[in-house]
Amino acid sequence: MKKLTKISIVAALMFMVVNVSAKTGEIDFSLEVKGYEGKTVSFVVNNVQKSVGLSLIDRNNRVLYAENIEVDGEYKRTYNFDRLPEGQYFLEVESATKVKRYPIVVDAYSAKLYYEANNEMYKPIVSVRKSMVYVNLLSLDKAPLHIEVYDADSNLLYQETLKGAYELGKMYDFSNVNNGTYTLIMTHKNKTFTEKIKTAKS
Each residue's pLDDT, cut to its tens digit, for the chain (202 residues) gives: 344 444 444 433 333 333 333 344 455 677 888 888 889 998 888 776 677 888 999 988 899 999 887 777 778 888 999 888 999 999 998 888 888 889 999 999 999 998 876 688 899 999 998 888 999 999 988 999 999 999 999 999 999 999 999 999 988 888 888 888 999 999 998 889 999 998 776 5
User: What is the reported pTM?
Assistant: 0.73
Please report the pLDDT score of residue 9 as a whole number: 40
In one-letter notation, the amino acid at residue 195 is E
Distance, in Å, from the CA atom of 39 to the CA atom of 72, rounded to the nearest integer, reads: 28
Domain annotation for the chain: domains and CATH numbers:
30-120 (2.60.40.3080), 123-199 (2.60.40.3080)
Cross-sheet strand order for the sheet of 132-138: 8-11, 167-173, 132-138, 125-129
Q: Three-class SS of residue 109?
A: coil
> What Å distances lie between residue 173 and 2, 6, 19, 59, 186, CA to CA?
16, 9, 26, 38, 17
In one-letter notation, the amino acid at residue 93 is V
For the chain, the straight-line distance linking the first and the last C-alpha, in angstroms and rounded, comes to 28
